[in-house]
Amino acid sequence: MPQTHPRNQVILAPSRVDHDGILSVFLAGTTTPTDDRDWREVLTESLTDLPLTVINPYRPDWDSSWREDITCEPFREQVEWELDMQEKAHIVVLFFHSATEAPISLLELGLCARARKAIVVCPEGYKKRGNIQIVCQRYGLEMAENFDALREAIVKRLPTGSL
């Protein structure tokens, strides 16, 4: 495991602490549990040696009884937090796991595509991969084939001399 950088920080929802890192990276994408280890955890661990802020929408206190409705206050708080944090982030990582449909992730890709700050991981087997490839090509978004390539893409966006 890489050594932690003094300016590396992880922000979990619904926290709104100030960012310490040079860059901020929002982890959008598949939330449905799969047989694999949580992708957000894997990526976050691989970035600990970098001077950046990782913004993770995961909520350990999430309650499955919350209705996905505008009138459900905790649900509304979560969605508004995610929208706010994605807008503020320098990079939005979108990960599409082939075992999930990830409709909200598709929405998130649409929201940030024109800002050209997304990096997308979409493996073979994801149902809507062709749509994602076309959106990425049209808006000049980088597609990473795996986590090593994703980490590299994030590192390339760090300002020179920040490491």
pTM of the model: 0.93
pLDDT averaged per 10 residues, the chain (length 163): 80 90 92 83 95 93 93 97 96 94 95 96 95 98 94 93 70
What per-residue confidence (pLDDT) applies to 163?
Answer: 67
**Can you give the residue ranges of every domain in the chain?**
116-163
Distance of CA 129 to the CA centre of its chain: 17
CA distance 49 to 27: 17
Q: How many residues does the chain have?
A: 163
What per-residue confidence (pLDDT) applies to 2?
Answer: 63
What per-residue confidence (pLDDT) applies to 33?
Answer: 76
CA distance 108 to 72: 21
